[in-house]
A and B are shown apart, each in its own frame.
Chain A
Amino acid sequence: MTTHRSDNPFGPGDPEQGFRCLVLQYQRRITAFATRMLGGDAATAQDVAQETFLALWRQQVRDDGRYPLPDHIDRYLLRIAHNRCLDLLRVRRDTAYLDPERDATDSATGPEKMAQASSLGEAVRDAVSLLSEGQRSVFILSHYDGLRYQEIADLLDCPIGTVASRKSQAVATLRLLLKAWADHDDTDNSEKNDASQQ
């Protein structure tokens, strides 16, 4: 005899409706997270998000809604999306040399490249993309998704000290990469202050 959990939207009733509510609630957050993990590739991020929700659907219907959903469904979805993004990034890294459009003459990397970016948002995007996988994951989950260190540690299956260390290293790296923009911003602000004083 199957016993359904009343708190599981995939249980008896209309599981598709429960699933729909869940997708509508978290779709934007998951796509934004995947977009950042994939360095701004919004189209692929949407595919990742679709896969993420479908993975949840498959799992729940397989279990026939018998088990409660994870306590923090948002983090559960983030974990699935995170793993898929890492898989994609690794494939891209391993096959990058096959890309005929890859610009071999583009030698600008690091702070110089960030300084050439046409906007601050673009510079931040490129800078975050240059972080190691571990630092990038922690930085995005903490800075953009607002997760606490312990929550990130649970999500990534690593000690909380590792999370703190990666976040600190990530910010230190970004500080170097975005130095030109920070200096530029400071100059702008001081000019505005001077003008207002006059």
Chain B
Amino acid sequence: MSQIPLSHILFVSTALFFIGMYGFFTRRNMITMLMSVELILNSVNINFVAFNKYLFPQKMEGLFFTLFIITIAAAEAAVAIAIIINLYRSHRSVDIEDADEMKY
């Protein structure tokens, strides 16, 4: 059984990154935008794991980094959802376009 080449995995992670990017740009719902950010983070995770496995199989740094990112993503989700709830309380909406007070 031959190994899947590295480029395939990179292709998947790139696709995931741009899907997240696209979602972040186009969705107006803040929850959906948060989900898109998770996608971007996970594409980075895939990159870390893949490079670790294919280029430096005897080392563990990439995997550790991935674990850190997952932890931080969880914390970030908690903070982001708290912000979204507060915004909802003051604006009665989770639409990002309604929160535009900080303009010229």
Q: Are A and B interaction partners?
A: no
